[in-house]
Amino acid sequence: MTNLIEIKGVRHAYKTAKGPLPVLDGLELSVPEGGFTAVVGPSGCGKSTLTKLVAGLLKPDEGEVWLHGEKVKSPRSTVGMAFQNPVMLEWRSILKNVMLPLEIVPTKLSRKQQEERARYLLALVGLEGFEDKRPSELSGGMRQRASLCRALVHSPEVLILDEPFGALDAFTREDLWQIMHQVKEKEPFTGVLITHDLRESIYLADQVVVLSGRPARTQFTLDVGTKGTRDIAHLYTPEAAAMLAMLRHQIEIAQGRAPAEAPA
Ligand SMILES: Nc1ncnc2c1ncn2[C@@H]1O[C@H](COP(=O)(O)OP(=O)(O)OP(=O)(O)O)[C@@H](O)[C@H]1O
Ligand SMILES: [Mg+2]
């Protein structure tokens, strides 16, 4: 299988008034085509910076980012992004908000086809009948579902989700996890999910990458290995508990709360 996303030896520092702030130092990550990788790590370690590098919004100081066999040098329209607090334009309907990327990214779809695609995606996430509502008329979970449609409307080959479910309550979050699996089945994409929720990472992703504290390097990679639609009940199995314990330990190492090597 070819890797659709390939990050090799990436280093990056932000220029600040107090001098350079090294954020990434030794980032290695590869996501095969159709794969879904979750990235976890301490707050402020550089996870959102990683997403900007993949989208071509930032250039690394050193190392390389490749997408589909091409080195990323500028912003990529083949990347769709969704964030924790989706910004929606209040003066536009939900349908028109979802169609927005098609006004920016070149598309071969006619106006009618664009609208059909937006309606299809909204129905896929259970928002049929809400097309003409304004963003403020939707709940947080519904807005997040609409934001997912907007990120997918131009059929990006890569979908980046930066803590998309972080602001939602636990039950709404679990609903959205299940919707994510359904969406991925119908609208295949290669995904990168940034999250602080370890259960979310093993439920949604097939690979979990743990970043070290800042400057972040790839500290640990877990192959989750489950394919296809998953049952939430899987999260309560001993197998899932073992994976969560392993990830939790790696996060403690990343936070400097546990030694890197367990004492003999
Ligand atoms: N444009 C910028 N200029 C200067 N420093 C920045 C800039 N963007 C981010 N930083 C700093 O770089 C570090 C990493 O930021 P980043 O947003 O990538 O972290 P993160 O892992 O996504 O954090 P969180 O888990 O809180 O979302 C932080 O210390 C942040 O303050
Ligand atoms: Mg972030």
Mapping DSSP to helix (H, G, I), strand (E, B) and coil, where does residue 156 land? Answer: coil
Q: Which domain holds residue 109?
A: 85-156
Nearest to 29 by CA among 262, 190, 242: 190
Closest CA to 212 of 38, 7, 21, 39: 39
Could you say which of 98, 124, 156 is where a domain stops?
156
Whether residue 264 lies inside any domain: the answer is no
Closest CA to 163 of 82, 54, 245: 82
Residues 64 and 175 in one domain: yes
CB-based pocket (< 6 A), ligand 1: 14, 16, 21, 23, 43-49
- Residue having the nearest C-alpha atom to atom 29 of ligand 1: 44
Question: By alpha-carbon position, which residue is closest to atom 6 of ligand 1?
Answer: 14
Same domain (yes/no): 71, 186:
yes
Residue 126: left (phi > 0), alpha (psi -120 to 50), or beta?
left
Among 120, 140, 156, the domain-final residue is 156
Locate 63 and state its tokens: 């190392």
C-alpha distances in Å from residue 195, one per residue of 79, 109, 161: 18, 33, 8
> Residues 215, 174: one domain?
yes
- Cα(160) to centroid(ligand 2), Å: 12
Whether 175 and 61 share a structural domain? yes
Q: Are residues 66 and 172 in the same domain?
A: yes
Pocket test for ligand 1, best of 15, 16, 45 (most atoms within 8 A of CB): 45
The DSSP letter of residue 121 is H
What local confidence, expressed as pLDDT, does residue 225 receive?
A: 81
Indicate whether 93 and 201 sit together in one domain.
Answer: no
Same domain? 171 vs 253: yes
Structural domain count, the chain: 2
What's this model's pTM, rounded to 2 decimal places? 0.94
Please give the number of the atom of ligand 1 that sits closest to the Cα of 50.
18
Residue 166 and residue 148 in one domain? no
How far apart CA 118 and CA 21 sit, in angstroms, is 41
Q: Are 170 and 236 part of one and the same domain?
A: yes
Instruction: Provide the pairing of β-strand 62-67 with 3-16.
Output: antiparallel
Atom of ligand 1 nearest to the CA of 46: 18
Which ligand is nearest the CA of 251, by number? 1
Residue 19's identity, in one-letter code, is G
Give 10-residue mean pLDDT values along the chain (264 residues).
89 95 94 95 94 93 94 89 89 97 90 96 96 96 94 93 90 91 92 96 95 94 76 88 96 89 58
Q: What is the DSSP letter of 154?
A: T
Query: What pLDDT is recorded for position 84?
Result: 83
Ligand 1 center to 254 CA (angstroms): 16
Q: Could you tell me if 51 and 114 lie in one domain? A: no
Q: How far is the CA of 187 from the centre of ligand 1 (A)?
A: 31
**Chain-centre distance of CA 236, in angstroms?**
24
